[in-house]
Amino acid sequence: MKITLNKEAFSNGIKIVEKSTAQRGIQPVLSNILIETISDNKVRFCATDLNQTITLDLDANVEEEGKITLNAKKLNEISLKLQEKPIVISNDVDTNVIKITCGKSKFEMNSIGVSDYLQIFKDNKNEDENEKVFEINKEIFNKAIKQTMYCCAQSESASILGGVCVNIKENTLEVAATDGNRLTRVIKAINSKSQEETFIIPLKTLQEIARISSIVNDKDLKIKINKTKIYFIFDNIKFSSKLIEGIYPKYQQLIPTTNEKIVKIDKEELINSIERVSIMVNERTNIIKFMFEKNNLTLKADAPEAGIGSDELEIEYNYDDIVIGFNYKYILEALKNIESKNVIIEISTNLSATIFKPEDNNEQICLVMPVQVR
């Protein structure tokens, strides 16, 4: 192989595919990127960790065809340090040594496991006739994902709750996530011209898609799904991931619709008060007490060893006094994902699901379960 690439395209390319490699795995070749020539002016970078796979096509001057794999981490380090000059990558088939040259800088590395890599790719490819295709406005999709994915069960990537549940209908996109203690649901108007479909995307895939789609210029996301996999198709990038298989909990029935105590609070003031009081929170429980009284909210935290912290906010509240305990971290995350100036809190009892939502729309709701306090 002998190819010449533009420095910037090379660096950006490595950056895009690097995250899909498996840095610590039983198959060392998965920490490598496969580079292969696909025509006399195109090369393809491929990376996979077996759960997700990415390919990126780049312009290049191909003098000699070939396939090599190179350690992604080292390639990225090299690409960050090279001068702004054309990069020549060539290999010596006899010694298996790959040379990367850029100006007077030279690097030599061994290519390992091209055949292993190709076999993994082949095994991993399960084409399925029953594919469905959607096109969704990228910005709307990404925003819905961003507003929900913080609610996924973080440590359970393999379980149903370790992903975000996406429901696409002809005119609506509904996205939900829950970790059992809290739930977020977002509904957005779209125009997808497709049949209804529900699937669960793993958190790691969503983070990766958010990253990649912030780099590319495509206005719409082209999504293909089959029974086990999802494909995101951009201009020169194809990204695929396993879906989480199983049935997502029927979360709609968990969302209360009759919480009768309705409070409106300045969101930033509430965030600041919670952060202030949280200094004195018991770090084992993270509980802050929310004490609602006529036109007043007192927040209070109490850590036996450290002391007591409290703060007060003027609010509009004309119901019976109520004291509710929350894990303050859940409340802060919910508030920080709500965009309106004021937040609406809908309360029923001190042990039932409490709703946090923006003042100006019903698209987004965040539900947090209280914690029992004395």
- Nearer to its own copies among residue 70 and residue 355 (C-beta): 70
Dmax of the chain from CA atoms?
83
- Nearer to its own copies among residue 268 and residue 359 (C-beta): 268
**What is the rounded end-to-end Cα distance, in angstroms, of the chain?**
72
Q: Closest separation between CB of residue 286 and its own copies, Å?
A: 15
Q: Closest separation between CB of residue 16 and its own copies, Å?
A: 20
Write out the two tokens for 328.
């303050």
Distance (Å, whole) CA 270 – CA 96:
62
CA distances, 41 to each of 59, 65, 90, 106, 178 (Å): 6, 10, 15, 23, 47
- Give me the DSSP letters along 2-41: EEEE-HHHHHHHHHHHHTTS-SSSS-GGGGEEEEEEEETT
- Nearer to its own copies among residue 110 and residue 361 (C-beta): 110
- Nearer to its own copies among residue 98 and residue 345 (C-beta): 98
Q: Closest separation between CB of residue 168 and its own copies, Å?
A: 42
Q: Closest separation between CB of residue 306 and its own copies, Å?
A: 6
- Nearer to its own copies among residue 272 and residue 361 (C-beta): 272
- Nearer to its own copies among residue 103 and residue 180 (C-beta): 103
Are residues 14 and 47 in contact, defined by beta-carbon separation less than 8 angstroms? Answer: no
Q: What is the DSSP letter of 234?
A: -
Q: Closest separation between CB of residue 268 and its own copies, Å?
A: 12
Binding residues for its own copies, rule: CB under 8 A, are 71, 74, 77-78, 81-83, 104-110, 272-273, 275-277, 279-280, 306-313
Q: Closest separation between CB of residue 303 and its own copies, Å?
A: 9
- Nearer to its own copies among residue 196 and residue 314 (C-beta): 314
162: alpha, beta or left? (left if phi > 0; alpha if psi -120 to 50)? alpha
Looking at the DSSP assignment, which residues form a beta bridge with residue 187? 174
Q: Closest separation between CB of residue 278 and its own copies, Å?
A: 9
Are residues 89 and 100 in contact, defined by beta-carbon separation less than 8 angstroms? Answer: yes
Sign of CA dihedral 183, 189, 194, 195: positive
Are residues 264 and 315 in contact, defined by beta-carbon separation less than 8 angstroms? Answer: yes
Q: Closest separation between CB of residue 144 and its own copies, Å?
A: 32
- Nearer to its own copies among residue 254 and residue 303 (C-beta): 303
- Nearer to its own copies among residue 256 and residue 309 (C-beta): 309
Phi, psi at 275, each rounded to 5°: -65, -40
Q: Closest separation between CB of residue 260 and its own copies, Å?
A: 28
- Give me the DSSP letters along 264-296: EEEHHHHHHHHHHHGGG--TTT-EEEEEEETTE
